[in-house]
Structure 1
Amino acid sequence: MFRVYGSWRHSLHCLRRFSTQTSHEAGRYRPRRAVMYVPGMDKRKMEKIPSVGVDTVVFDIEDGVAVDQKGTARYMIPETLAQLSIPAATEVTVRVNGLDSNLTREDLQVILEKSPDGLPEALMVPKVQSAEDVAEVDCMVGEFRPSAKHQPLPLFAIIESPMGLLNLRDICYHGIYKCEAVRLQVIVFGSDDYLAMIGGVRSEDASELVFVRQSIVTHAKAYQLQAIDLVHIDFKDLTSLKRQSQEGAWMGFTGKQVIHPTQVGVVQEAFTPTQDQITWATGLIEEFDKHQKLGKGAFTYQGRMIDKPLLLQAKNIVNLHNAISGRTNS
């Protein structure tokens, strides 16, 4: 029995949060446990990125930048990327302005044409409401970075409106199977804009967002995509952040948005398998392989009958642990 969690049912519930079956590139999984936004016009904050140790950094041209500073941010990001030595473990992403702003095209042109080769490694697009939005971004990226048609840029799509939620199935399908220059890999939940659009009010426990959060996870996992949970706005309250991060992990999210470096460690720990889980999973896989060689099917492990779902959970844990450690997934 997986004693650390008290009951078998709760143990299984905890294990499910580490599913890594979310990549359309066989054998590859990039951990995105903490996704941190940094204003694209704040050079001081951008220069601190190499020392933060975050899985994914998002240089922002949208909400984190005032309207009269967007042009500055647009050009400052490529200049800063050319100067920084960001660790390979940190994914470099840029959030452009949404298609409703009429700024997306210029954002993409500058970012894709002025940035050093290979950067940014991914793009984040806010306020995605339809498959047509994804198609439009795909066309722009193909125009400004033709090489992306041979090696598509990973795409993060932020869902932050009721219409985006209703169209999420089509967004996922188009972003995976119909695009050439981008490839949808991540669905991000933009909770504050969503609440504003429905006239809702943000509560401390975010109970008013349970339905939307579960819908985001359901669609993402149905299409083997990663799902990134809502921002915890009070960056000084690390206790509440830890609780909400664990809740998101139990729901099936693979990571969480953060807005301050102090949040990174708490969030990434919540989405990382514990040593007890790694030991349990490794032992289960070894026992499974041993019984397969003996020609035996079902078997017991730590007092419980093992079936395929539990084997999958064990492999998910080991794969995520390997990905975080920089090793190749099995």
Structure 2
Amino acid sequence: MFIRLGKRSIQQFRHFCSGTGASSSNDKYVPRRALLYVPASNPKMLDKAPKLQVDCLVLELEDGVALTAKAEARQNIRKYLDNWPQQHACHEVGVRVNSVSSGLLADDVTELAKSSKLPDAFMVPKIDSVDDLNTVWKTFRSAYGDQRIRNTPTRMVIWIESARALLDMPQILKAASTLHKSAQFFRTDAVVFGSDDYCADIGATRSNDATEIMYARQHFVACCKAYGMQAIDAVYIDYKDVEGLKKQCEQGKSWGFNGKQVIHPTQIGTVQDCFLPSAERIDWATELIKEFEQHQRGGKGAFTFRGHMIDRPLLLQAKNVVELVRNVKK
């Protein structure tokens, strides 16, 4: 069984295959094979941040910062943004603010807005409802003003960390997409699964094999992909267990996850290698795109490739593989 590509889908895919990539900076693909947290209350770690070889660097204001150090951490990030390093080894520098439920979000955003610069992404934990998203939008709008948050390349990454949020994910992700389209608010293109808070919420005991979160992870990744967003997997809690980390990465990748949170720099290499497509997969994607172009030039809408009928989902899989490799190698 196969699905013929419509005229619009063909045009969009041919635009990608031409090498022009995304139509704007808002559509640029950002690799997030690994997300590393750096507590903003630690000046020494902030000094090392630009040299860290990680896809996504998360400057942390939330769980990694003690309540008594929040004010200092905010000021440290504001100064970091003011003196933004010319070169980072990472693809994205994000700032994780405190949650709506903490009561600290407005204080975070008010201090960060004093900088003339925006990070690559704002990262918001513990989004439990559509109301939480609306509060986030209103808080940023109040601190930054409409002009600074509209049509900016800055993204938003959100965390799902409770049973309620997991079950309401479709409504939450739909609302995030609507905010971007209707209010020109930050585009949400990635969602992170907060496994520790989720386990605490349901009363589960956290384990290395993660059987207690199997359903949650599979539901989570399905919701992300339904709304075209990257799915970032749970932390592997034993950072000294390299083999266990690798096994869970390979499992997550096979389920459709795009990356994983890391809590220690020693985890970065293993995680990013696991989420990089294999040479065989890259070859499959490259050849598939090439043959697609050849068939389109010949006026054919469907074709077979390596013994399989090709449909739109397979073409999009090939696109994602090539786009990830292209951006990682920049």
Aligned letter for 2:44? R
Aligned letter for 2:74? R
Query: Equivalent residue of 2:204, what SS?
Result: coil
Consecutive unaligned residues in structure 1, runs of 5 or more: 1-21
Say if 1:175 and 1:52 are closer, same or farther in 2 by CA, change over 3 A.
same
Aligned letter for 2:187? R
- Whether the aligned pair in 2 keeps the contact of 1:43 and 1:80 (CA below 8 Å) is no
CA RMSD, 1 decimal: 2.3
Is it true that 1:175 corresponds to 2:168 in the alignment?
A: no
Q: What is the 5 A alignment of 1:184-223? A: 184-223=188-227
Say if 1:183 and 1:291 are closer, same or farther in 2 by CA, change over 3 A.
closer
Aligned letter for 1:247? Q
Query: Equivalent residue of 2:113, what SS?
Result: helix
What is the Cα deviation at residue 26 of structure 1?
A: 7.6
Choose between structure 1 and 2 for higher RCO, CA contacts under 8 A separated by at least 6 residues: 1
Task: Measure the CA separation in 1 of the matches of 2:109 and 2:23.
Answer: 25
> Structure 1-normalised TM-score?
0.85
Task: Measure the CA separation in 2 of the matches of 1:292 and 1:176.
Answer: 31
Residue in structure 2 matching 1:264, options 264, 268, 292: 268
Aligned to 1:159: 160
What is the Cα deviation at residue 105 of structure 1?
A: 0.4
What is the Cα deviation at residue 24 of structure 1?
A: 10
Aligned letter for 1:158? W
- Superimposed CA distance per residue, residues 251-274 of structure 1 (whole angstroms, 9 cap, x where no aligned partner): 111111111111111111111112
Aligned to 1:63: 63
Is it true that 1:305 corresponds to 2:308 in the alignment?
A: yes
Shifted more, 288-297 versus 189-198: the winner is: 288-297
Task: Measure the CA separation in 2 of the matches of 1:293 and 1:259.
Answer: 48
Task: Measure the CA separation in 1 of the matches of 2:23 and 2:249.
Answer: 22
Consecutive unaligned residues in structure 2, runs of 5 or more: 1-21
Task: Measure the CA separation in 1 of the matches of 2:159 and 2:139.
Answer: 18
- Whether the aligned pair in 1 keeps the contact of 2:36 and 2:264 (CA below 8 Å) is yes
- Whether the aligned pair in 1 keeps the contact of 2:26 and 2:152 (CA below 8 Å) is no
Aligned to 1:135: 134
Task: Measure the CA separation in 2 of the matches of 1:135 and 1:178.
Answer: 8
Aligned letter for 2:127? V
Aligned to 2:100: 99
- Whether the aligned pair in 1 keeps the contact of 2:98 and 2:124 (CA below 8 Å) is yes
What is the Cα deviation at residue 35 of structure 1?
A: 0.8
Say if 1:289 and 1:201 are closer, same or farther in 2 by CA, change over 3 A.
same
- Superimposed CA distance per residue, residues 44-95 of structure 1 (whole angstroms, 9 cap, x where no aligned partner): 1111122212111111111101111111111111223434524274311111
- Superimposed CA distance per residue, residues 144-200 of structure 1 (whole angstroms, 9 cap, x where no aligned partner): 222112427411111111111122112111111135333322211000011011110
Task: Measure the CA separation in 2 of the matches of 1:153 and 1:293.
Answer: 37
- Whether the aligned pair in 2 keeps the contact of 1:154 and 1:185 (CA below 8 Å) is yes
Aligned letter for 2:316? L
Query: Equivalent residue of 2:57, what SS?
Result: strand
Task: Measure the CA separation in 2 of the matches of 1:164 and 1:53.
Answer: 32
Say if 1:291 and 1:170 are closer, same or farther in 2 by CA, change over 3 A.
closer
- Whether the aligned pair in 2 keeps the contact of 1:298 and 1:305 (CA below 8 Å) is no
What is the Cα deviation at residue 296 of structure 1?
A: 4.8
Is it true that 1:43 corresponds to 2:66 in the alignment?
A: no
What is the Cα deviation at residue 235 of structure 1?
A: 1.4
- Whether the aligned pair in 1 keeps the contact of 2:25 and 2:153 (CA below 8 Å) is no
Aligned to 1:6: none
> Structure 2-normalised TM-score?
0.85
Task: Measure the CA separation in 2 of the matches of 1:35 and 1:267.
Answer: 10
Task: Measure the CA separation in 2 of the matches of 1:23 and 1:160.
Answer: 33
- Whether the aligned pair in 2 keeps the contact of 1:23 and 1:224 (CA below 8 Å) is no
Say if 1:293 and 1:262 are closer, same or farther in 2 by CA, change over 3 A.
same
Query: Equivalent residue of 1:178, what SS?
Result: helix
Residue in structure 1 matching 2:228, options 224, 228, 233: 224
- Whether the aligned pair in 1 keeps the contact of 2:31 and 2:91 (CA below 8 Å) is no
Aligned letter for 2:309? I
Aligned letter for 1:107? D
- Superimposed CA distance per residue, residues 12-61 of structure 1 (whole angstroms, 9 cap, x where no aligned partner): xxxxxxxxxx9997852111111110111111111112221211111111
- Superimposed CA distance per residue, residues 191-218 of structure 1 (whole angstroms, 9 cap, x where no aligned partner): 0011011110112210111111111111
Q: What is the 5 A alignment of 1:53-92? A: 53-83=53-83, 85=85, 86-87=87-88, 89-92=90-93
